[in-house]
Structure 1
Amino acid sequence: MGRTAIVTGGTRGIGAAIAKALKEAGYEVAANYGGNDEKANAFREETGIPVFKWDVSDEKACAEGIAKVEEELGPVEILVNNAGITRDAMFHKMDSAAWRAVIDTNLGSLFNMTRPIWDGMRERGFGRIVNIASINGQKGQMGQVNYSAAKAGEIGFTRALAQEGARKGITVNAICPGYIATEMVTAMPQEVLDKHILPQIPVGRLGEPEEIARAVIFLVADEAGFITGSTLTANGGQYMV
């Protein structure tokens, strides 16, 4: 059996592409999801990847969900923190509920998901953690103060935790996608995409979820042990750091 991996938000969009790629690469994969039972069940039927439902913003639910995955599939050695939400609004119109929902789900989940598996990774001397951040955590974005703050926090979390895990064989890295052809992005009016989004991207197109998945496969490999604390940008040249 391959190493066991959890992908949060793993039944749709980028997360689904990551889960599929991990399975194809020989890993035992658990796909977490938060709410859409219909999509999750369809994903399970299509891929054969087991799905597990819990709210990543709930610390107790994460601990219980991880325990169930480990009982069924084995110790978690790879974690991809992909789950995230948006609650966009200009800051002068943003309320505390929108702020807390995004911070708790997008950033708080990193603690909730990583803390229960951290001790096991340290004891075994191996671990791979990949946090899916965002271009907007690097450059900021109007109307997304909450989202940009959470994604910037993910990068800081990555860099700090990488230093703690390095001598225990645990790597912690981040990927910052740009505009990716997920349901959320492709639902935008074509005129908006053509006039306002695509002109910002030097390669002239949206990214594909599978392109982010390939980056994850590279970072979680046993052979990638010298790469840690890194932030990999995958944005078609839109923002170069």
Structure 2
Amino acid sequence: MRRTGKRGARGEVLAKSGEPPRASLYTEITDRIIADLERGCVPWVKPWGRAKASLGLPKNAVTGRSYSGINILILWGAVIERGYAGQYWLTFWQALWLGGNVRKGEHGTTIVHADRFIPKDEKERAREEEAEPRAVPFLKRFTIFNVAQCDGLPEHLYGQPEPLPERAIIPQAEALIRASGADIRIGGDRAFYMPVRDFIQLPPQPAFLDQINYYRTALHELGHWTGHPTRLARDFSGSFGTKAYA
């Protein structure tokens, strides 16, 4: 069926007059990331304590190609939230092509493909005016499934969790953290400072996708630690993202 809605500046099809506007992919994805940030989860630094999957980029199970851009954050978030054991993903039809199937009742994860195209009338305009045609950007949704949501796929796609690597120790950072005298407790899958009990909680260093982020996170939480009433007496009343929180 032909779409009759207008196109927005970013190439998305807008609803016809009188209809509620379609959800913007940009807004939808941005809101999802902001929600993670407000929960204290930084998707690109998030420790993988809750995830069963091995550390690495999500890949398509058929092509072997790694997903890119915003899709990495979307798929990492899904792996962490749902506890998938593998980083391989595929579409419904790709699962069938491999001889398997998506289990009934499973819900996929929406990713996006960004590209540009040149409309036919724009090509004609450019040819008539002897000018360069202007490409129109667009986003397209795709629904994909983790291999853990499928049955009958080749065995090698059902990855098992890899053991965590040894700690990548940075002596200078270790010395600084130790010199602070802060009560730092290692364990779990969250990083935070607890003002009431005056301690810092950190996931194990090898649980970070990039181990340097363990030190970045530790020093960030030490910044909050300095605000205790017995030290700088900073205001802890603000929520994440506010000036008081920072």
With the shorter chain as reference, the TM-score category is: under 0.3
- Is the helix fraction higher in 1 or 2? 1
TM-score of the superposed pair, with normalisation by structure 2: 0.23
What TM-score comes out, normalization by structure 1 length?
0.23
Greater radius of gyration (CA) = 2
